């Protein structure tokens, strides 16, 4: 059932997506399905260099349009190097972030425009929406309590910006029916169970 499926876990910073991606990967592998797990941006040599540019606090003045193009470039490289070959081989591909992030962050919160983000993605990628995108929804207080480390450039954008990011994520199911929302304020174990209900 999960062979050749493309699944994304996404949401605001501090929602627990990296933890849930790891747990889901282990669960799928235990069912005997080949699974590949990646992060966006990153994974490829090109993608990791772009990630460093995007998250470096020294690049405070970077415009939303520049962010969109850089994220899309990293994504296109990741698709070419890993995702497309893995899906063709029948693997289940799990992503920590994807297009949904750019829609919420730059498209909605940054004011670039969600439709414009989707158009650029359409022009840049062979496939823009996965089989399933799970948005892990979390309030700002819960997210902040989970992020006990130095914040990167995107995470430092302030409470008002991140409130808009959350709003942007919650609007995505109205745009794309394969986007689903899970309450990520629950325990790690309960969130994992709620994700599995959407997949299995």
Name all domains of the chain by residue range, CATH numbers in brackets.
6-199 (3.40.50.300)
Q: What is the pLDDT of residue 157?
A: 61
d(Cα 105, Cα 42) in Å, to the nearest integer? 17
Q: How far is CA 129 from CA 44, 148, 176, 178, in A?
A: 20, 32, 8, 8
Which H/E stretch holds residue 148?
Answer: none
| 2-32 tens-digit pLDDT | 999 999 999 998 899 999 999 999 999 999 9
What angle (nearest 5°) sits at the alpha carbon of residue 182, between those of residues 123 and 87? 45
Q: In what order do the strands lie in the sheet with 6-10?
A: 35-39, 92-96, 6-10, 132-137, 179-183
| Mean pLDDT for all residues in the chain | 93
Residue 99 is predicted with a pLDDT of: 98
- Helix or strand or coil: residue 154? coil
Residue 44 pLDDT > 70: yes
Task: Using pLDDT thresholds of 50, 70 and 90, give the confidence band for residue 46.
Answer: very high
Would the pTM of this model clear 0.75, i.e. be above it?
Answer: yes
């Amino acid at each position: 059932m999960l062979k050749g499926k493309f699944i994304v876990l996404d949401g605001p910073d501090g929602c627990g997506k990296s933890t849930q991606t790891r747990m889901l990967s282990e669960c799928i592998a235990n069912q005997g399905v080949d699974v590949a797990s990646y992060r966006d941006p990153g994974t490829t040599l090109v993608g990791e260099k772009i990630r460093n540019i995007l998250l470096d606090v020294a690049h405070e003045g970077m415009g939303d349009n520049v962010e969109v193009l850089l994220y899309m470039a990293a994504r296109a490289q990741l698709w070419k190097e890993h995702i497309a070959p893995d899906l063709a081989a029948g693997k289940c591909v799990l992503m920590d972030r994807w297009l949904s992030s750019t829609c919420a962050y730059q498209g909605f919160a940054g004011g670039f425009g969600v439709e414009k983000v989707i158009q650029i993605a359409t022009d840049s990628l062979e496939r823009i929406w996965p089989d399933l995108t799970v948005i892990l929804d979390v309030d700002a207080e819960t997210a902040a309590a989970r992020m006990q480390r130095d914040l990167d450039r995107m995470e430092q954008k302030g409470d008002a910006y991140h409130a808009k990011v959350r709003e942007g994520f919650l609007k995505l199911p109205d745009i794309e029916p394969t986007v689903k929302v899970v309450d990520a304020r629950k325990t790690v174990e309960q969130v994992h169970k709620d994700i599995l209900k959407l997949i299995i």
